[in-house]
Chain A
């Protein structure tokens, strides 16, 4: 019995760790897409951020400088996206795709040229990584059944970025629903003409939104290379940005729901690792690949309107031009 609880807790523990980068990216997507800018470049920004964080941390030994660089690089790519989509009214999907491919190529090319390790950055020592934090009183309550175990094993002992990821959700929700900027951001994603008529710059609002997205993707990248792993590995984002995009749609472009979707997809990921080669009663062995494909399949089914309806922001993907 106790064993079962411990296994369940370890799976949930892994879920939190695997969901963290998804949540950062999904919140980034909330900012960008609610303002009307399609962001399939989450993946690329995260990957570029991961490289910047690991490279900086490896050279300077400072994990915080690494995080700063990750955010800087990710914001730079977000600005490029903005420059193409907002200033030049380019196709947002094409621009996002360009960013993904650029990030994939640049991180590998620069990594090999600078570090000569086949695209990997040098492994980080413990000081140059985000280490796990023990929450106050975790050791004291560890012996209390269930509540104590949940607190000490599940909630305590993550690195600071995991906590920040979960903090980013209420923060995003607050900005989106409780601030003037958030109101305008949502308005510009639904009806940019109205916002323009009110004398507010559509372009500047959207630029600020994509910058917010860039910051959050930078955090996700730093998490991958300096918290979850101890180095940058080629293509280490491995489709997580697209999963986050799926979670964003699955959560109907709302912060709390998107987080739940991220947790679901993170849980599937954690489960896939644990079910590998395990024969389940009645069903038999579930192929790992099925578990890996499940987030994508669920999103397709949701988008097709078979489980609820996901309605995108109205002005999404349409460049705004004044003269009409």
Chain B
């Protein structure tokens, strides 16, 4: 019944845009409720995120994490799998990156460690997603529930490891020792100053390029490979996929492994880059932001870059906002994130029927 076709651009651009706008309108309402001016808050956020070089650095640093987790969620989405476990997979992936860097930092420079660290992070993150994937494919347990459970298990495991095993001897806070400076990823401000351009220091590092590379990889993988075709087919119609001879179980496990490996890349940005060690809860919700990013970006790498940039700006702008206005904290960004998930995810097709009516009327008037 509701198959009246809308122009493609409405589906790809207009509807997501309306949904994001709706989320922001409600968020503005929350700011109003708190007793502040939404317009003023918006201005401060925009300035904080893009107004000066340090702000831009932080914005892009957050963006890097969100690209990784957004891609992770998107790849699983293409196979019809909802991977809520990005948070845990990123956490465990970071453990892999950290262990490798701590083992090798006495001998190798960062550019030799990086490929190994990518493999280690991917393996650890992928393994953390492999188990839920395997259980879904071969034991019939539901991926959503198992990945939620695995987030909590990962968190407990990491607390245990950091408090009891990996803690730097004699240190008070539960974190590993610092990775030697020659093995950590170069910060962008160092790269720029080597080229003679001085910019303010920020945690932004070369992992951003890895994130962009991952986008290209996912784009090629999903749309131009046999495996990607199989993944999309499973997501589109699992029965048809089985009928056409695709081993759907194996593909489900594989998809989850790739998804987990992508989430594990957060470890490169955080452990090898920004923090230079494994700290408690370094993922800080990026796994969940990834869900909002994937929903908003329509599971396409390009959309994910745009959505990640938006959320990166929101997180950096939100930090700025809490400095400027004492009654507003970064929790407001969490509210916006929830609203984006609500409007772009759960209520994605709310506005569709009304738009269809409008377009039908417009077409009818054209003819008359």
Provide the B335-346 mask, 1 if CB < 8 A to any CB of A, else 0: 111110110011
Instruction: Give bound CA distance, A225 to B146, whole Å.
Output: 29
On whether the beta carbons of A112 and B157 are closer than 8 Å, the reply is: no
Provide the A60-90 mask, 1 if CB < 8 A to any CB of B, else 0: 0000000000000000000010011100111
On whether the beta carbons of A287 and B149 are closer than 8 Å, the reply is: no
With a CB–CB cut-off of 8 A, which chain B residues contact A116? 326-327
On whether the beta carbons of B160 and A290 are closer than 8 Å, the reply is: yes
Does residue A148 face the partner (Cβ distance < 8 Å to B)?
no
Contact check: which of B146, B295, B332, B345 meets A303 at CB < 8 Å?
B146
Does residue B153 face the partner (Cβ distance < 8 Å to A)?
yes
On whether the beta carbons of B334 and A84 are closer than 8 Å, the reply is: no
With a CB–CB cut-off of 8 A, which chain A residues contact B341? 94, 97-98, 101
On whether the beta carbons of B141 and A90 are closer than 8 Å, the reply is: no
Instruction: Give bound CA distance, A80 to B336, whole Å.
Output: 16
Does residue B348 face the partner (Cβ distance < 8 Å to A)?
yes
Contact check: which of A99, A109, A292, A312 meets B142 at CB < 8 Å?
A312
With a CB–CB cut-off of 8 A, which chain B residues contact A94? 82, 291, 295, 341, 345-346
On whether the beta carbons of B135 and A97 are closer than 8 Å, the reply is: no
Question: Nearest-CB distance from A36 to chain B (Å)?
Answer: 14
With a CB–CB cut-off of 8 A, which chain A residues contact B46? none
A84-B347, A98-B341, A101-B341 known; A106 vs B141 contact (CB < 8 Å): no
Contact check: which of A98, A113, A242 meets B328 at CB < 8 Å?
A113
With a CB–CB cut-off of 8 A, which chain B residues contact A95? 342, 345-347
Question: Nearest-CB distance from B351 to chain A (Å)?
Answer: 10
Does residue A289 face the partner (Cβ distance < 8 Å to B)?
yes
Instruction: Give bound CA distance, A91 to B144, whole Å.
Output: 12
Does residue A127 face the partner (Cβ distance < 8 Å to B)?
no
On whether the beta carbons of A296 and B153 are closer than 8 Å, the reply is: yes
With a CB–CB cut-off of 8 A, which chain A residues contact B30? 106, 109-110
Does residue A5 face the partner (Cβ distance < 8 Å to B)?
no
On whether the beta carbons of A245 and B145 are closer than 8 Å, the reply is: yes
Provide the B277-292 mask, 1 if CB < 8 A to any CB of A, else 0: 0000000000010010
Chain A interface residue bracket vs B: 35 or more
Instruction: Give bound CA distance, A97 to B34, whole Å.
Output: 24
A94-B346, A245-B145 known; A108 vs B328 contact (CB < 8 Å): no
Does residue A160 face the partner (Cβ distance < 8 Å to B)?
no
A245-B145, A303-B141 known; A90 vs B348 contact (CB < 8 Å): yes
With a CB–CB cut-off of 8 A, which chain A residues contact B328? 109, 112-113
With a CB–CB cut-off of 8 A, which chain A residues contact B335? 102, 105-106, 109
Question: Nearest-CB distance from A107 to chain B (Å)?
Answer: 8
On whether the beta carbons of B349 and A303 are closer than 8 Å, the reply is: no
Does residue B195 face the partner (Cβ distance < 8 Å to A)?
no
Does residue A40 face the partner (Cβ distance < 8 Å to B)?
yes
Does residue A279 face the partner (Cβ distance < 8 Å to B)?
no
Most B CB within 10 A of own CB, among A89, A92, A94, A100: A94
Instruction: Give bound CA distance, A29 to B342, whole Å.
Output: 20
On whether the beta carbons of A93 and B82 are closer than 8 Å, the reply is: yes
With a CB–CB cut-off of 8 A, which chain B residues contact A246? 145, 149
Question: Nearest-CB distance from A28 to chain B (Å)?
Answer: 16
With a CB–CB cut-off of 8 A, which chain A residues contact B338? 98-106
With a CB–CB cut-off of 8 A, which chain B residues contact A296? 149-150, 152-153
Does residue B331 face the partner (Cβ distance < 8 Å to A)?
yes
> Which chain A residue lies CB-closest to B326?
A116
Question: Nearest-CB distance from B35 to chain A (Å)?
Answer: 7
Chain B interface residue bracket vs A: 35 or more
Within 8 A of B (CB), among A101-150: 101-106, 108-110, 112-113, 116, 119
On whether the beta carbons of B346 and A300 are closer than 8 Å, the reply is: no
Does residue A277 face the partner (Cβ distance < 8 Å to B)?
no
Does residue A323 face the partner (Cβ distance < 8 Å to B)?
yes
Instruction: Give bound CA distance, A303 to B133, whole Å.
Output: 13
Does residue A293 face the partner (Cβ distance < 8 Å to B)?
yes
On whether the beta carbons of A249 and B145 are closer than 8 Å, the reply is: yes
> Which chain A residue lies CB-closest to B132?
A300
Question: Nearest-CB distance from A262 to chain B (Å)?
Answer: 16
Instruction: Give bound CA distance, A205 to B339, whole Å.
Output: 26
Does residue A307 face the partner (Cβ distance < 8 Å to B)?
no
Instruction: Give bound CA distance, A95 to B349, whole Å.
Output: 13
Contact check: which of B33, B82, B148, B336 meets A110 at CB < 8 Å?
B33
Within 8 A of A (CB), among B135-167: 135, 139-142, 144-146, 148-150, 152-153, 156-157, 159-160, 164
Contact check: which of B35, B142, B159, B334 meets A104 at CB < 8 Å?
B334
Residues of A within 8 A of B (CB): 38, 40, 80, 83-85, 88-95, 97-106, 108-110, 112-113, 116, 119, 239, 242, 245-246, 249, 287, 289-290, 292-293, 296-297, 299-300, 303-305, 312, 323
27 contacts between A and B (CB under 8 A): A40-B148, A94-B291, A94-B345, A95-B346, A95-B347, A101-B337, A101-B341, A105-B332, A105-B333, A106-B30, A106-B338, A108-B331, A109-B329, A109-B331, A109-B334, A110-B34, A112-B328, A242-B152, A245-B145, A246-B149, A292-B152, A293-B153, A296-B149, A297-B149, A297-B153, A304-B135, A323-B1
Beyond the given A98-B342, A99-B338, A109-B332, could you list 18 further A-B residue pairs with CB under 8 A, ordered by the A residue number?
A85-B346, A93-B82, A94-B346, A98-B339, A98-B341, A98-B345, A102-B339, A105-B337, A242-B149, A245-B148, A289-B157, A289-B160, A293-B152, A296-B149, A297-B153, A303-B139, A304-B141, A305-B139
